[in-house]
Amino acid sequence: MSITRPRGFRAVGLPAGIKAGGTADLALVVNDGPRDTAAAVFTRNRVQAAPVLWSREAVADGRARTVVLNSGGANACTGPDGFADTHRTAEHLAAALEISAQDVLVCSTGLIGERLPMEPLLAGVTAATQQLGSGPEADEAAARAIMTTDSVPKSAEATTPSGVIVGGIAKGAGMLAPQLATMLVVLTTDADVDAATADAALRAATATTFDRVDSDACMSTNDTVILLASGASGISPSLEELTEAVRAVSADLARQLVADAEGASHDVHVIVRSASTEQAALAVAREIARSNLVKAAIFGNDPNWGRIVAAAGCVPEEAAPFSADDLSVTVNGIEVCRGGGAHRDRSEVDMTPRETLIEVDLGAGDATGDIWTNDLTHDYVEENSAYSS
């Protein structure tokens, strides 16, 4: 189970006819309360889809009762008509649930630039409200309905020491890059918390999980992570306790996003140590993670440390001060570069495991930062060259 494991939630996923082929493409998550606390974070892309614009306004008061999500169309770059479609969707669901449209959050994912087919979508919303349930089947159905190029549904859950439960579902398999990723994530908890606490927990959790996934340096127009709190447990955990549980679920989902990245054959963990600040470490880690030369080398099972140090050197000195003569690189436990030059033979590195660990020591301080990415494969090119066909 995942999103309905916390008390006070129901969910459903079903085919509404938005996507061809009769696959599931519409999901609902409903918070039955007694609380209707909500928080959300969104893409920082300047081009934002209509559902992002709507949901950003709707969640501003820290309240929401439900989330409706569709795959098969992003409803991005569709102008005023696209926003009207989002508004109409929220109004339609609100009427069915007898709540305010301002308590409805909307998420969409799929191809940019095309209007959604509103007649089947709204009919699907009506059908979904009549099929809401809880348990593993409802959770998996909702997780499957939001998939686009994902190969598997993604879900996770955690329980705090005080007994509060956090669950979550996510979609995303490409365009994974801060801020957030090409992903939709719904997190639920039965914690009895106010909006300020939920917002603080969510932002702290995403900062060290979803914001550190960087598959291909591409930022989506629809990225959304929502946290709903029902208060049904009657337990009010501390901010620290709630944050840790939200972080645990977010970290689990973030790793699942990397593992399902389009065409990837390696999951790559880049850790930069001995930096002047955490931000400096993250800047270097992100530069390495975004290097197509590094990613292609990993696809070819080549621990080419020269490409790694070259990528590190692309970071401006003001962002990450270090000396090239102090750089060291370890790949899968073998230190192939020390003091800016060759050390152990790269042939000693075993590149066959799915997970590749790149550790870079800058010799410039005590701070550490890390990024998850993946390699660049032929399948990634094939997947994204034919996405709209």
DSSP for residue 103: G
Q: Of the listed 182, 189, 221, 243, which one is catalytic?
A: 182
One-letter amino acid for residue 236 of the chain:
S
Decide the pairing of beta strands 355-361 and 267-275: parallel
Q: Helix H segments across the chain?
A: 50-58, 79-97, 118-129, 136-145, 195-207, 239-259, 278-289, 292-299, 305-312, 378-385
Instruction: Of 260, 264, 176, give the one whose Cα is nearest residue 220.
Output: 176
Task: Please check whether residue 52 is in contact with residue 82, taking contact to mean a CB–CB distance below 8 angstroms.
Answer: no
DSSP SS3 for 336: strand
Q: Is 105 left (phi over 0), alpha (psi -120 to 50) or beta?
A: beta
Q: Report d(CA 35, CA 205) in Å as an integer.
A: 21
Respond yes or no: is residue 182 known to be catalytic: yes
CA 214, CA 66: separation in Å to the nearest integer? 29
Q: Which of 34, 35, 116, 5 is nearest to 69 (CA)?
A: 116
- CB 329 within 8 Å of CB 336: yes
Through-space distance between the first and last CA atoms of the chain, rounded to whole angstroms: 34
Look at residues 155, 154, 152, 150 and name the one whose alpha carbon lies nearest to residue 174.
150
Q: Show the CA angle centred on residue 72, arms to residues 27 and 248, nearest 5°.
A: 50
C-alpha 304 chain-centroid distance: 29
Contact 262, 383 (CB under 8 A): yes
Q: Which residues are catalytic?
A: 182
